[in-house]
Amino acid sequence: MVFFFLAFVTQAQEKKIIQFSGLITSVGGELPVPFVTVTNKSYHNQAFAANNEGYFSFVAHVGDTILFTSVGFESLEYVVPYTDSDKFTAKISMKSLVIELPAITPFPWASIEEFNIAFMALDVSDDATARIRNSLSREALAALSAVVPRSAEEIQAFNSTQRHINMSNKNINQRFANPLLNPFAWGSFINSIAKGDYSRQRLKY
């Protein structure tokens, strides 16, 4: 009699329906794992999907086996535990799947024969100093300046210099345009006064 009672209690616990919810995060980083596929293996492989923040919620039975799968993470199985409430919230931690690829060495040539041909055709007549000197010659720099556009810093410096020159010329022209500030005009004025006084003295005598 006791055996049948325990079997009945166990069966009732396994059949209990609850709202199973949870948050899926990564192991170590504690960052949410988005869009994880949640499959109830104990109930016709019914599948659900977590949202972009790793949250999920669906109806399940106590004792159901839930499978969590996501690209780049190891699969995880979780058994819904018994609870007195009709709701249960779980924290699921999924481990990132690290795949080590074999090391490869890239070569720019398809075969060793092509490498030998390219190596034999390599020009090593000039040393590094001579190549730098040729690259910085006046002819090389003039050729580069003819095809390379000016940078933003060069354009800004040129415009600033032009504005300074224009403002300086404008101030000079304004200064000499005013006769009161022109020393030559003052000299002519003084000479004219002196000549007029001299003329009046001659007429007096």
Report d(CA 54, CA 56) in Å as an integer: 7
Report d(CA 20, CA 25) in Å as an integer: 16
* The pLDDT value given to residue 2: 46
Average pLDDT over residues 72-100: 91
- Residue 17, classed as helix, strand or coil, is strand
Report d(CA 3, CA 66) in Å as an integer: 29
Dump pLDDT digits (tens) for 149-171: 777 787 888 888 888 887 776 65
**Four-residue CA torsion sign, 133, 137, 142, 143:** negative
Q: Say which amino acid occupies 108.
A: P
* The pLDDT value given to residue 87: 94
* The pLDDT value given to residue 4: 47
Dump pLDDT digits (tens) for 1-58: 444 444 444 554 557 899 999 999 999 878 999 999 999 999 999 999 999 999 999 9
CA dist list (Å): 44 to 60, 136, 140, 175: 12, 76, 76, 98
**Burial readout 111-124 (b: 16 or more C-beta within 10 A, e: otherwise):** eeeeeeeeeeeeee
Dump pLDDT digits (tens) for 167-184: 776 655 555 555 666 666
Dump pLDDT digits (tens) for 3-15: 444 444 455 455 7
Report d(CA 186, CA 197) in Å as an integer: 17
Dump pLDDT digits (tens) for 96-129: 988 777 887 777 777 888 888 888 887 766 667 7
- Residue 72's contacts (CB-CB under 8 Å, 6 or more residues apart) are 96, 97
* The pLDDT value given to residue 36: 95
